[in-house]
Amino acid sequence: MDFIESIDWEKNPLIPAIVQDIDTNEVLMLAYMNKEALEKSIKSGYAHYYSRSRRKLWKKGETSGHTQKIEEIKLDCDSDTVLLKVKQTGPACHTGRQSCFFKDISKNIISSEPLKPTEEIYSPVDALYHTIMERKEADIESSWTARLFAKGENTILKKVIEEAGEFCFAVKDNSKKEIVYEAADLLYHSLVALAYRDIHPELVREEIKRRFGQSGIEEKKSRKNR
């Protein structure tokens, strides 16, 4: 029986994929697969997923090296969820923890420390974005990012405008140190705005890639035709 074809992909274009460590049976993460991701996972022997935030197919560990070698794939009784049993290389969670399920609601504690800092796993921009996303739930008394989220859209956008202005003044003053400093502030607050709308910076990178080979004049014209 072709189990892939038994899944109603028209009704469920994305199905949940529960990922479990083959040796310990620990649940590592929950991700989503479309048909292409499942087929690629089976063919390659390594877990591939569909990222809803980045809107693209991705191989687990393609940037971090923390791959998942598939040992078993099981389909549930309703044919709308898969269970992957994997050999996990390194931590499974983007926070650097072994499992994504580290928040113990019953005990109201974070149950494990990161195995690796996020900056050792991802690019600086991705690591910063992941940290910003985590701060959504942080204490506003101890986190500036959490305070921005709590104050909402207007405050976040005012900070972006403010930092853009300070960056422009730094460029005008021709101070290299200040230009770099203000550019970092502008990048941070822009990432906060993206995180507020749950937009991954990968989408910005994809847009930049799309513009390669296209002149600025052509790009401006294409905007008018949208």
Range of the domain at 138: 123-215
Whether 128 and 179 share a structural domain: yes
User: What ranges in 22-152 are assigned the alpha helix state H?
Assistant: 35-44, 124-134, 144-151
- CATH number of the domain that 164 lies in? 1.10.287.1080
Q: What is the pLDDT of residues 51-95, one digit of tens each?
A: 988 889 999 998 788 999 999 999 999 999 999 999 999 999 988
Q: What is the pLDDT of residues 159-217, one digit of tens each?
A: 999 999 999 999 999 999 999 999 999 999 999 999 999 998 988 988 898 888 766 66
Report the number of distinct structural domains present in the chain: 2
DSSP 46: B
Whether 79 and 58 share a structural domain: yes
- CATH number of the domain that 94 lies in? 3.10.20.810
Whether 127 and 100 share a structural domain: no
For residue 5, tell me if it sits in a domain.
no
Whether 15 and 102 share a structural domain: yes
Residue that is last in its domain, among 110, 137, 172: 110
This prediction's pTM: 0.67
Residue that is last in its domain, among 84, 110, 136: 110
**What amino acid occupies position 211?**
R
User: What ranges in the chain are assigned the alpha helix state H?
Assistant: 3-6, 35-44, 124-134, 144-151, 153-173, 176-196, 201-211, 216-224
- What percentage of the chain exceeds 70 in pLDDT? 90
How far apart CA 212 and CA 216 sit, in angstroms, is 10
At 206, list the tokens: 């994809």
How far apart CA 90 and CA 106 sit, in angstroms, is 27
Q: How many CA atoms lie within 13 A of 140 on its CB side?
A: 6
